[in-house]
Structure 1
Amino acid sequence: MNDRNRSYRDFVKSRCQINPCLAGLADYLGCGLKAASTTVILDYPRSGQSVPHFLTAAETDLSKLIDDTSTIYGRVLLVENIQPHLISLLGEILDVDPIFFASHVTTDFKDIEKAPAPPSLALFPSQIAERGYLHLHYQQVLDLGSADVFEFSSYSLKTDSNIPRNVRRLPHPSGRQLALARACCSVLVKKVNSSWICLVLVDPPSEMVVETLGAGGRKSYPSMLLHGGFEGFVQSTSFASFGSVASNHSPDKKSILSSLLHCFRNQPPGFTIAEPSILSFGYYPMRIALAEWMLYTHLMSRYFKYYEYALHDIENRLHDSDIIDLQRWRRRSMQSQHKVILLSEFINYWLQHEADKQPWNLVLRDIKHVLSQLEHYNRSIEHMLPVATSMVTLLDSRRSMREAANVSRLTFIALVFVPLSWVASLFSMSDTYSPGQKNFWMYFATALPVLFLVLLLSAVRWDQVARNLKRVEAVSKWQLGRSKTEATLA
């Protein structure tokens, strides 16, 4: 095949022999048509204007992405809900390492015997940091509405986007069905001729989650971010400027793209228009991801409180499924710590190139706070799991004891009625012993002693009788031996 006819997908397939973690990207590039992506371009002109120009771009115009950049310092391309064709186009134009796209596309870890691990797990943290690709993996808390709708739904759901992200349903302690959805924001900065280009990939708003049914069917549920999304981190306006038109403009927080466009109106810390760093472009996405992690830690606190109450009321609230949920939270907490540690390693690696380290020290302190919360809840899970397991075992023992008591009652009833029915069947062979006849009194004269004998024999502790017989036998043997000894001495 001629090199000119080789596609970016062919390049990815060839790289799979060296990096198996690219297999998920190769499969995604082979998918058919997907929903249209949303692309926005921010140009930083050489005229000295600090505020970038906002432009919308179609996929056909992106082929000229690196053309005519002599009038600008650089260009930021934000892509929401990227589709396979656009990955191939940008990969060929910008000569992007497939590891960057693979880390954004492949975020779930399937069984190792079925698929290789994603790049975030297959590569060392040092390898991820030195490549200069910033990938922010975080969890979004979704509100799916009333829990009654999901009574018979599956635990695993997916987002309705070009790159389906995993959505996991959570127990509903208060009648609301909450879920955790994975999300990713990826940032890449490349030098092109005398300018630079920053590529930012974000996920679309999670307005719909999908459940896979049998025979290829699907069922969709509307979703929204819990309480409107993460807490804002930009400086708020004062009351004096509340009535102005500019102050009333606020981003749509359910869309990461809208939030980033609002943030990029102001230059991030450490930003130099001539040669910006990867950290400066990653500042606002980092803040958004950390805000989502803060909401995630509050959610963990709520569910641990729920499980603590379940342990206090084991008869009515604790179930075997709680043990499974706690194990899921433990695995989820370990994965969350890994994602936050990757972000910390990335900042520490590139911090040495920053002149002003103060903003990043604050970000590192916030990361340390999130990590401490995750570690605290992970330790709580480790302590809670053995207690919950013991409680469930105790609850099963109580059930077994109650069932044994019921069996004892049935046995006692059988002991009462079996002798009576046996004597009745014995006397039924002659009509003179039927009720009202002259020999009817003989039934009671026979049945009651038999009943008394059966109850007496059932009350005897035969194990104790066996031990007593063995003891008597041992004493007899000892006395017999002593008698023989005395006779010999005499």
Structure 2
Amino acid sequence: MCPDRMAGDYIGYVESLRHRYPNLRRFCDIEGASNVKNKEETSRVVVIEIRENGISQKGFDSADDLERYMQGPPSGSEPCKHRVYVLEGTAPAYLQVLGRRLRMDPFVFAEQLMRGGTRKEQAATLPSQHGLERCFSMQYVEARVFPDGRLNTLGACCLYRDRKIWATKINSKFDEVAKVHRIASFWSRKEANGAFNGLILVDPPVGQFIKIGKAAEKEIRPCQSSLYQGGYVDISPFPCALDLDRDWESQPGPTRESLFDDILFYWNHMDRFPNLHSSILESPAGFFDGASFFLKSIIAANWMQFLVYFDEIIDRLEYSLARADINALDGVENHLVDVTHWHRRCWKSCEQVEHAIHALQPQQRSSPTAGSAFTGIDDFVYIHRKLCALTERCQRLSLSLTHVISVIQSRQASEEAHSLKILTLLGMLFVPLTFLSGIFSMSGDFLPGERSFWIYIVVSIPAVIMVFLVVFSNQVAQFLKLREKPRKSLLNVRLTARPPMFAQGEAKDAEKG
């Protein structure tokens, strides 16, 4: 990126690059000058100033306040060594200031603006293109409960950037728990004076309204929701020393409703994490890993919450298979559809976590960027391993359901063949009777109850027997062969039991001896 060009209109400069970089088109469509809807969009931004003796936070009410701060930060008693900006949402006014002042790579914003849960508009770049910058973009899932059947459609999304809300179906019924797609990004760079600047991008909360429908037909509906099982587990380490004799007050925790507020909460309680402050000040890798530590940990905790829900779903599907009616083909096929959906969802989650692991791996180009103690890779490696195990469970369950469907279909085919055989026998019985009555015009005195009806019976019985013999000729021949075999075997036994004539003569000569 050219610093001189970015000194003016940052978004305008990015728009001029859309022909060189097709993956910037979504950024230009949303944040460009032609989109009037986003001009009134608001965001929240806070800067975290990291000093030798601690940290401080400063919020901004408008993009102009942020512009004045970044143009000439106030000088305090102790100089600020590093800064981390936290931005909720992607209002164009704030992106304009941050992108221009920090000379940011627009691909970071393009990743954050990616919609849905697909990689259709992913801003794919090579690691060597980032230069001295280090950044990552992570996708994760937030499990939320929509009670009383308020979410009964598959086409739901958030108001912000149409983030997908995946409703869950179990046995063709919508479950109360849904998966909300989320994206969070982090960017950092070392400046010429040795200081570091960082930026954390997060999505706003789900809110009380969602979109329902397809494409242009979407309508906004009120829809209350809550976090699944109260949200993720607190990422703060449990205290090693417990003093049970003193009276403990209730310790505050994160709200878990807004990632922006949760990150600021943990920055305010940085004393719960020993050595984190010193690690941020030590080296470039320490700043990258430490400044993004809370973001990574919260994302990993949300993934763990998703694993709990996913494991519960697989248990329910396995239990449904064990209790399923072996004759109910429709029910088993619905189970297979559910398992296939979850297998795809889990495989996609494995891909997203694997992408996060790759982004967090320390750079090997120089020793100062080696990983620190706060990389967070181990958490994502564990999550990836658990997701792979759940994927295998889905695959085994899918194979079991396929075998059950094969058994049901075989049984149905056998029952249909048996029914067809019965219909054939009935036809073989009545067709000759109808044929004879039609050929010989056996009506009047030959009808049932008349004096000559016995003639019709005498003529029809041989015809019916003849038809059955012709149809079952192979079975009759096989039956006669089976009757013939015992007679032959009995004759062979009698012949082998009788001694030959020359043997009897030799016995008499031996007696006369």
TM-score bin (small chain): 0.7 to 0.9
- TM-score, normalised to structure 2, is 0.74
C-alpha distance in structure 2 between counterparts of 1:349 and 1:273, whole Å = 16
Q: Which amino acid aligns with 1:286?
A: K
Aligned partner of 2:297 in structure 1 is 287
Aligned partner of 2:59 in structure 1 is 55
Q: Which amino acid aligns with 2:177?
A: L
Aligned partner of 1:37 in structure 2 is 42
Contact 1:157 1:211 in 2 (8 A): yes
Matching of residue 389 in structure 1 with residue 402 in structure 2: yes
Give per-residue Cα distances to partners, 1:404-452, cap 9 Å, x unaligned: 2222222222223333344455576642333443323323223333333
Contact 2:15 2:28 in 1 (8 A): yes
Aligned partner of 2:111 in structure 1 is 103
Q: Classify 1:327/1:371 alpha carbon distance in 2 versus 1 (closer, same or farther; 3 Å).
A: same
SS state at 1:171 partner: strand
Aligned partner of 2:217 in structure 1 is 216
Contact 1:130 1:349 in 2 (8 A): no
C-alpha distance in structure 1 between counterparts of 2:439 and 2:149, whole Å = 63
Q: Report 1:77-88 matches (<5 A).
A: 77-88=85-96
C-alpha distance in structure 2 between counterparts of 1:40 and 1:126, whole Å = 30
Give per-residue Cα distances to partners, 1:36-85, cap 9 Å, x unaligned: 43314245387x76241342422343332412314261544322232345
Q: Which amino acid aligns with 2:253?
A: S
Contact 1:206 1:224 in 2 (8 A): no
Aligned partner of 1:164 in structure 2 is 162
Give per-residue Cα distances to partners, 1:308-355, cap 9 Å, x unaligned: 335444624863344444444444334333333333334331595479
Aligned partner of 2:140 in structure 1 is 138
Q: Classify 1:370/1:262 alpha carbon distance in 2 versus 1 (closer, same or farther; 3 Å).
A: same
Contact 2:165 2:180 in 1 (8 A): yes
C-alpha distance in structure 1 between counterparts of 2:21 and 2:423, whole Å = 68
Matching of residue 461 in structure 1 with residue 474 in structure 2: yes
> How many Å apart are 1:288 and its aligned residue?
0.5
C-alpha distance in structure 2 between counterparts of 1:106 and 1:322, whole Å = 32
Contact 2:14 2:28 in 1 (8 A): yes
Aligned partner of 1:477 in structure 2 is none
Q: Which amino acid aligns with 1:176?
A: D
Alignment partner of 1:403 out of 402, 416, 425? 416
SS state at 2:54 partner: coil
Taking only aligned residues, the RMSD between alpha carbons, in angstroms, comes to 3.9
SS state at 1:133 partner: strand
Alignment partner of 1:358 out of 360, 367, 373? 373
Contact 1:147 1:177 in 2 (8 A): yes
C-alpha distance in structure 1 between counterparts of 2:142 and 2:477, whole Å = 66
> How many Å apart are 1:260 and its aligned residue?
0.9
C-alpha distance in structure 2 between counterparts of 1:99 and 1:464, whole Å = 83
Aligned partner of 2:199 in structure 1 is 199
* Farther-moved stretch of structure 1 (342-351 vs 437-446): 342-351
Give per-residue Cα distances to partners, 1:14-43, cap 9 Å, x unaligned: 433443322332232244424743314245
Q: Report 1:343-382 matches (<5 A).
A: 343-349=356-362, 353=368, 357-360=372-375, 363-382=376-395
SS state at 2:147 partner: strand
> How many Å apart are 1:289 and its aligned residue?
0.8
> How many Å apart are 1:96 and its aligned residue?
1.7
Q: Report 1:253-292 matches (<5 A).
A: 253-267=256-270, 269=276, 270-272=279-281, 277-292=287-302
Aligned partner of 2:508 in structure 1 is none
> How many Å apart are 1:217 and its aligned residue?
3.9
Please, which runs of 5 or more residues in structure 1 have no aligned partner?
A: 469-490
Contact 1:129 1:346 in 2 (8 A): no
C-alpha distance in structure 2 between counterparts of 1:379 and 1:181, whole Å = 24
C-alpha distance in structure 1 between counterparts of 2:310 and 2:150, whole Å = 22
* Farther-moved stretch of structure 1 (414-423 vs 363-372): 414-423
- TM-score, normalised to structure 1, is 0.77
Q: Classify 1:349/1:196 alpha carbon distance in 2 versus 1 (closer, same or farther; 3 Å).
A: closer
Q: Which amino acid aligns with 2:164?
A: N
> How many Å apart are 1:98 and its aligned residue?
0.8
Contact 2:44 2:89 in 1 (8 A): no
> How many Å apart are 1:391 and its aligned residue?
3.0
SS state at 2:308 partner: helix
> How many Å apart are 1:290 and its aligned residue?
0.8
Q: Classify 1:148/1:58 alpha carbon distance in 2 versus 1 (closer, same or farther; 3 Å).
A: closer
Matching of residue 301 in structure 1 with residue 298 in structure 2: no
Give per-residue Cα distances to partners, 1:175-226, cap 9 Å, x unaligned: 7333222211112235678665432211122244433248714364443321
Aligned partner of 2:187 in structure 1 is 188
Give per-residue Cα distances to partners, 1:140-170, cap 9 Å, x unaligned: 22223345962xx33x432222x22222222
SS state at 2:362 partner: helix
C-alpha distance in structure 2 between counterparts of 1:226 and 1:344, whole Å = 25
SS state at 1:319 partner: helix
Contact 1:147 1:172 in 2 (8 A): no
Contact 2:361 2:371 in 1 (8 A): no
> How many Å apart are 1:101 and its aligned residue?
0.4
SS state at 1:183 partner: strand
Q: Classify 1:416/1:429 alpha carbon distance in 2 versus 1 (closer, same or farther; 3 Å).
A: closer
Q: Which amino acid aligns with 2:17?
A: R
C-alpha distance in structure 2 between counterparts of 1:22 and 1:306, whole Å = 43
Please, which runs of 5 or more residues in structure 2 have no aligned partner?
A: 482-513
C-alpha distance in structure 1 between counterparts of 2:301 and 2:14, whole Å = 34
Contact 1:41 1:75 in 2 (8 A): no
Give per-residue Cα distances to partners, 1:350-403, cap 9 Å, x unaligned: 59547993344xx33322221221222233344444443333233322222222
Matching of residue 319 in structure 1 with residue 332 in structure 2: yes
Contact 1:41 1:77 in 2 (8 A): yes
Give per-residue Cα distances to partners, 1:254-305, cap 9 Å, x unaligned: 2111211110103361233998712211000111011111122223322333
Alignment partner of 1:250 out of 233, 242, 253? 253
Matching of residue 431 in structure 1 with residue 444 in structure 2: yes
Q: Classify 1:125/1:171 alpha carbon distance in 2 versus 1 (closer, same or farther; 3 Å).
A: farther
Aligned length: 450
Contact 1:141 1:179 in 2 (8 A): yes
Quick check: which has more Rg, 1 or 2?
2
> How many Å apart are 1:92 and its aligned residue?
3.0
Q: Classify 1:226/1:357 alpha carbon distance in 2 versus 1 (closer, same or farther; 3 Å).
A: same
